[in-house]
Amino acid sequence: HEVILLLLEEYNLRQNDFVTGKIFKKKIWSLIAEMDIKEIKHGYKITEIQCLSKFSELKRTYKAVKDHNNKSGNGIRSYFSHMDILLGLKLFMSSMSTVLSTGK
pLDDT tens digit sequence for 28-37: 999 888 875 5
Region 1-25: mean pLDDT is 86
Q: What angle do CA 75, 76, 78 make, to 5 degrees?
A: 125
Higher pLDDT, 1 or 73: 1
Classify the C-alpha dihedral 63-66-69-74 as positive or negative. positive
Mean pLDDT score of the chain = 74
Region 64-87: mean pLDDT is 71
Q: Are 29 and 51 in contact (CB under 8 A)?
A: yes
pLDDT at 36: 59
Q: What percent of the chain has pLDDT over 90?
A: 12
pLDDT at 89: 58
Higher pLDDT, 50 or 96: 50
Question: pTM above the 0.85 mark?
Answer: no
